[in-house]
A and B are shown apart, each in its own frame.
Chain A
């Protein structure tokens, strides 16, 4: 019986009894051949290797066939779909104090004139009394807003406190409108408690775009 050397694989059966199945004596060269084949591992199995290569080649052929499919295509474009947002812009002719309300008494009224010009999109004009400071007089004084140009029409009449989003009509693009604003103290509102009081507020002109 052959004793395997250190570092070498154990001999196969035919090496153990010193003969191959054919009866040919097994020599050291045969042992070396077996050892080399085993060292090759899977690469030593030529049938398996050939099967792997054949399978891989078929996969390549299939992948190439699938990836090379061709289609007809056609295309058209619709460019330059453009959208532009307009602007709303107004100019007030009188940007300072519109009415001097000093020394008001029952039965007295004061007026001022304002012209609004639009430089942008068609817009609806609104008027508000903002930053109200004061007491009861805000509910006593009456504001009247009358459009005088291009048409004559009263747009608002009511107390200062109630002046909220008053509709002053629609102003066309590049058009102007003139308004006379009057603040009056009704003659019948003679409450002595109002004497010496004061109020202040701002007129706020707003343009809101309309379609």
Chain B
């Protein structure tokens, strides 16, 4: 009789271990839920309390906004460009909010319409962006019109401050074309359009 009970106990212990192994995920989940529940309970339980008030603590969310002198319009545009032409335009961006903002400039991928000889104008035009022309004259970007792949960091501006930017686009002279359809001639009749976006993030 005692041997039978011992065997039953042995079987029972084995089964328990096996059951534990099989259901270990359920057990872990239950433990996590219990832990979270415990945390919530510890937060929500209160016994004796006393309090004193510091009234009229007013919190106002800072604001971040901007004005763009060329909002929803082109900063610069040029018709009938030929090699050697340089065009420029200026835009002023102002942090009209109260918060400091980290400003950056991004360019869309230029939309090209090749000319009859197949050249894409965005691949030959050069762009230079100068921040605060005439004062600081900081060149924040120089490169191909189609090469502004990464956002250009313009720094952190305090609320109420503004900066102007001069965009200069150059159609460089590539020398005498070797044929009527190659060299700079490949770009005859082509056009390209690009969009610039100014983004500010509160800091």
Residues of A at the B interface (CB closer than 8 Å) are 27-29, 32-33, 36, 39-40, 43, 49-50, 53-54, 56-57, 71-88, 121, 209-211
Contact = CB atoms under 8 A, between A and B. Distances in A.
Contact of B125 (A39, A54, A57, A83): A83
Interface of B: 6, 9-10, 13-14, 16-17, 20-21, 24, 28, 31-32, 35-36, 39, 62-68, 70-85, 87, 89, 91, 93, 97, 99, 101, 115, 119, 121-122, 125, 145, 167, 169, 171, 187-202
Contacts, number: 167
Contact of A85 (B21, B63, B72, B81): B81
Contacts of A54: 35
B126 to A, nearest CB: 11
A74 B71 CA distance: 13
Given A36-B16, A74-B65, A211 B85 contact: yes
A211 B196 contact: no
B189 A76 contact: no
A78 B169 CA distance: 15
Contacts of A85: 80-82, 115, 119, 121, 171, 187-191
B17 A84 contact: no
A121 B9 CA distance: 103
The 5 nearest A-B residue pairs measured at CB:
A36-B17, A86-B80, A209-B82, A76-B68, A72-B202
A74 B66 contact: yes
Contact of A81 (B6, B20, B63, B74): B74
Nearest to A76: B68
Given A28-B10, A29-B9, A82-B74, A77 B64 contact: no
A53 B35 contact: yes
Nearest to B196: A78
B21 A40 contact: yes
Given A29-B6, A73-B201, A81 B194 contact: yes
